[in-house]
Every structure is written in C-alpha cells, then in structure tokens.
C-alpha cells in the first residue's frame, strides 16, 4: 500500500464492475474498500466482524434483519455499521459509490449467503 494520499474518486474511475470492491488502502488489519453498486446484492452475514458503510455518491439502502426486517437508507456523507451476526442486503435503485471498511481477508459475501447470481462473485477485495 502507498504512503501517499489516496483519491477515492480517482480509484472509482479505474473500474466499472458493480459490487466488486477495490482495496484503496489499509489501516492496521482493515481494508478500506471502494465500490460501485446498483441493483441488489445478496442477503449475507459476517459472523465475526462488523461492516462499515460510507456513501460517497448516490443513495444506498441496506435491508437488515435485527431481528425484524427493516431498511436503512443512506445519502452521501452518511455512514452505517452492520453489527456482526446480522443478516443484511445492500441495494441501490439509482446506483451509488461507497466505502466499506472491514478486516482484511473478509469475503465480500460474508460467512453465509444466499445463492450467488451471475453478477456477484466472492472475493476479499481486489488490489488497485
């Protein structure tokens, strides 16, 4: 990782894939990942870690089951943390650019998830 400032918007311009985060930088053992989203992700859960979401552009909604199902909607500049052990499903009707922070090596699809559609793959963040 670079020891220089990272322009998150510049990183976002390097790819077009949806739901496929790039690791912009690391802090301690955590990845700071940026990604573009549109449509719906899958229901999934991270058993051992919280997941931090920050919206850069657009609007992001996150359905959570904690224990009843509800939807949290975020606008640019807003953050939300999904606690470990909570099933969640991010989605965005019009599209968004977001930052996700979680421990390095954590799969994007969590520890348990719904079947994967063709537009979603499991990985631990791609290097830029």
What percent of the chain is helix, strand and coil (3-state, nearest 5)?
A: 5, 50, 45
- Alpha-carbon gap, residue 86 to 17, rounded angstroms: 26
pLDDT at 1: 67
50, part of any domain: yes
Beta bridge partners of 127: 23
Residue 34 backbone class (left: φ over 0; alpha: ψ -120 to 50; beta: rest): beta
Number of domains in the chain: 1
Exposure b/e, 57-94, CB count within 10 A at least 16 = b? ebebbbbbeeeeeeebebeeeeebebeeebbbbbbbee
119, part of any domain: no
Whole domain around residue 75: which residue ranges? 8-114
pLDDT 10s digits, 10-27:
999 999 999 999 999 999
Q: What is the pTM of this model?
A: 0.94
Mean per-residue pLDDT over the chain, rounded: 95
Domain containing 23 — which CATH number? Answer: 2.60.120.10
92, part of any domain: yes
pLDDT 10s digits, 91-100:
999 999 999 9
126, part of any domain: no
2, part of any domain: no
54, part of any domain: yes
């Amino acid at each position: 990782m670079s020891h220089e400032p990272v322009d998150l918007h510049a990183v976002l311009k390097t790819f077009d894939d949806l739901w496929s985060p790039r690791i912009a930088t690391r802090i301690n053992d955590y990845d700071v990942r940026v990604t573009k989203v549109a449509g719906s992700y899958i229901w999934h859960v991270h058993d051992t870690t919280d997941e931090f979401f920050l919206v850069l552009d657009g609007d992001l909604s996150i359905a959570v089951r904690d224990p009843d199902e509800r939807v949290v909607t975020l606008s640019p500049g807003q953050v939300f943390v999904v606690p470990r052990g909570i099933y969640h499903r991010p989605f965005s009707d019009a599209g968004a650019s977001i930052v996700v922070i979680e421990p390095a090596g954590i799969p994007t699809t969590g520890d348990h998830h719904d079947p994967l559609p063709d537009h979603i793959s499991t990985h631990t963040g791609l290097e830029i």
